[in-house]
Amino acid sequence: MSSNLIKTILPPATIGIVGGGQLGQMMALIAKSMGYKVGILDPTPHAPAGQVADFQIVAEYADVKALMQLAEKSDVLTYEFENVDEGSLLKAKQVAELPQGTNLLHITGERLNEKNFLNDAGIPVTKFAAVNDEKTMRAAVETVGYPAILKTVSGGYDGHGQMDINNSADVAKAAELYDKTQCILEARQKFIAEASVMVTRDVNGKVVTFPLVENRHKNHILHTTIAPGQFAPAIHQKAHQYAEIIANKLNLYGVLGIELFVLDDSHLMVNELAPRPHNSGHYTIEACNISQFEAHIRSICGLPIPPIVQEKPAVMRNLLGTDLTLARNLLKDHPEWHFHDYGKAEIRPQRKMGHVTVLGDDIDELLKSTAMLKGEN
């Protein structure tokens, strides 16, 4: 185990974050409160994370020179999204610590790698097959069956880069996707709920998990998170068990989001992994003794992490597009809301602009509190 341990990096060291969105912003806010300095690499001037950091390098993520500049100004690097170039990060790793490494990105940034990794770890996943031309598409349908979803192996999120495959007419149309890029065909699962769990490891390699939560989506985008999820005890137990296996097999540092399908009261299946804090973990800012963002910073900086305690049930509601304006106007009537505005320059339909979290003992009451937000959704 000792060969896997990471270096302890204490404040006022500088943390460089690749990515300037809301996840980077929330990482930066907690890092600053702990006394760290923070630098951001993001192509958008005054990106959400850049607004709260000590400095921002405005450049594309693929700009190796800019990434090296961030590394040279930082003691430790982290990333807030999947699609970072591994080769560039390996170069940057020679200058600054990179506790998450690049293997995590290699596995989670490519859906076939991810499914094979989970399979090898003995974690249940849906049936899947690789697709890159008409022949492999037809073979994949034979293996996977209908209904299925064809997805690009990399890129694509919130429903982008995928199409439903329910019959032979859909198979014929599938060339629109697989002619452009490598794809994966996945069997569509019947499930009773979607769920997720955040996991990390501390400086000693001890696995730390957050509560299992229920996620409700609209138009393929997370709409509401209920924490903890109202599931059978066996489901909570399996989620934590799978999280521990995955974290140890990855030699994980930093927070990993694990998205799951709850099939029934005793069966659970992993859908996807996210190598960073996750939208469905935002409730932890107010509801837990430490947030997923503090856990992330503690993990990459080689600090101990206490056992996670959720002090009150919580509901988190995403603010998409014009929901943000509506929530701002309703704020005067809702003292119970913990309101987060990410400071994005432009409101666009279905774009994550902020979120609201409410705490209390009655989940139905919490859902009613956020039901006032009848904007885009």
Known binding site for ATP: residues?
111, 151, 156-162, 194, 217, 271-272
Tokens of 216: 């409700």
Q: Which of 30, 31, 51, 32 is nearest to 42 (CA)?
A: 51
Could you give the CA distance from residue 163 to residue 273 in angstroms, rounded to a whole number? 20
Could you give the CA distance from residue 305 to residue 216 in angstroms, rounded to a whole number? 29
The torsion angles phi and psi of 360, rounded to 5 degrees, stand at 170, 180
What are the binding residues?
Answer: 111, 151, 156-162, 194, 217, 271-272
Tokens of 204: 């000693």
Q: Which of 81, 77, 70 is nearest to 41 (CA)?
A: 70
CA 89 to chain centre: 19
In the beta sheet, which residues pair with residue 40? Answer: 17, 56
In the beta sheet, which residues pair with residue 56? Answer: 40
* 8 Å CB contact between 149 and 188: yes
